[in-house]
């Protein structure tokens, strides 16, 4: 969903750039609470992993393809603030080195593919975690669902930005339908990849997954008074 130069007008691009800069500023503060000696090295690696998976376009229906956006998976693995930093690094490198996503559209791309997928993915993930049983085995499912929802929402957000500052006069209802349609399919891929990747780490080291820690902590507190109940896993 990398937005090239020219799709959005200058004022809109400046506005999205300001939002992106503000979000990164907040994230630089917020990430301090998420990063410790175990998560800090994870964060750089998660950024690298998101970059790698964004090279892997998978086919979705007729003549089109999509790739992971990565906000949801990053948020679940290293925390939402850190995830904003991870995804921003990816988009900066892609724009500067790989000519993928315009430089004037960098703020737009950080907002659409990073910030919004982190926020939506994390909120859906935490919402599901709140209502579902507190089991680490459910974390990959919840992460996958958050990832799935985040993609069509980002597509809608692009449509909204286009409504404000699109450079061509096109029917917005058709744009919205086309964007959400194809990105629902891409979202399925995003959900599956996210669930598989989070599941692989949960299987070996659930404590390295930020989104699973709350459950692990709660479990430790529960187990101690009732050590004989064998409540583990």
Stretch that binds another protein, among 15-23, 114-122, 139-147, 200-208 (CB under 8 A): 200-208
- Min dist CB 10 to another protein, Å, is 12
Cα 178 from Cα 196, distance rounded (Å): 28
Cβ at position 201, least distance to another protein in Å = 7
Decide if 198 contacts 144 (C-beta within 8 A): yes
Contact range with another protein by CB under 8 A, out of 117-125, 127-135, 137-145, 201-209: 201-209
Residue 130: CB minimum distance to another protein, A: 20
Q: Of 41, 127, 132, 160, which lies in the binding site for another protein, with binding defined by CB under 8 A?
A: 41
User: Tokens 């989070």 label which residue?
Assistant: 198
Burial class (CB in 10 A: 0-12, 13-18, 19+), 103: middle
- State the minimum distance, in angstroms, from the CB of residue 38 to another protein: 6
Decide: is 219 part of the binding site for another protein (CB under 8 A). yes
Question: Within positions 56 to 95, which residues make up the interface with another protein, using CB under 8 A?
Answer: 56-60, 63-67, 82, 85-86, 89-90, 92-95
Distances (CA, A) of 49 to 68, 157, 202: 10, 25, 16
Would you count residue 1 as binding another protein (CB under 8 A)?
A: yes
Per rule CB under 8 A, is residue 170 in the interface with another protein?
yes
103 lies in the binding site for another protein (CB under 8 A): yes
Ranges within 119-148 binding another protein (CB under 8 A)? none
Residue 125 neighbours by CB under 8 Å, 6+ apart? 72, 75, 76, 142, 143, 145, 146, 211
Residue 131 · residue 211 · CB < 8 Å? no
């Amino acid at each position: 969903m990398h937005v090239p130069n020219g799709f959005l007008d200058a004022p809109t691009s400046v506005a999205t750039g300001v939002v992106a800069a503000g979000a990164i500023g907040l994230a630089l503060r917020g990430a301090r609470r998420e990063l410790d000696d175990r998560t800090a090295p994870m964060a750089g690696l998660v950024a690298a992993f998101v970059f790698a998976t964004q090279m892997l376009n998978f086919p979705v229906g007729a003549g089109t393809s999509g790739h992971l956006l990565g906000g949801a998976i990053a948020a679940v693995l290293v925390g939402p603030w850190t995830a904003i930093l991870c995804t921003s690094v990816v988009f900066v490198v892609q724009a500067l080195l790989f000519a993928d996503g315009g430089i004037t559209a960098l703020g737009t791309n950080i907002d659409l593919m990073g910030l919004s997928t982190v926020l939506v993915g994390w909120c859906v993930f935490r919402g599901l975690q709140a209502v579902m049983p507190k089991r680490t085995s459910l974390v990959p499912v919840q992460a996958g669902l958050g990832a799935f929802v985040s993609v069509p929402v980002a597509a809608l957000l692009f449509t909204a930005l286009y409504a404000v500052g699109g450079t061509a006069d096109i029917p917005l209802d058709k744009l919205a339908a086309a964007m959400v349609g194809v990105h629902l399919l891409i979202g399925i891929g995003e959900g599956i990849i996210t669930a598989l990747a989070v599941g692989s780490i949960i299987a070996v080291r659930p404590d390295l997954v930020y989104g699973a820690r709350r459950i692990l902590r709660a479990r430790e507190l529960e187990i101690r008074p009732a050590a004989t109940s064998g409540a583990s896993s």
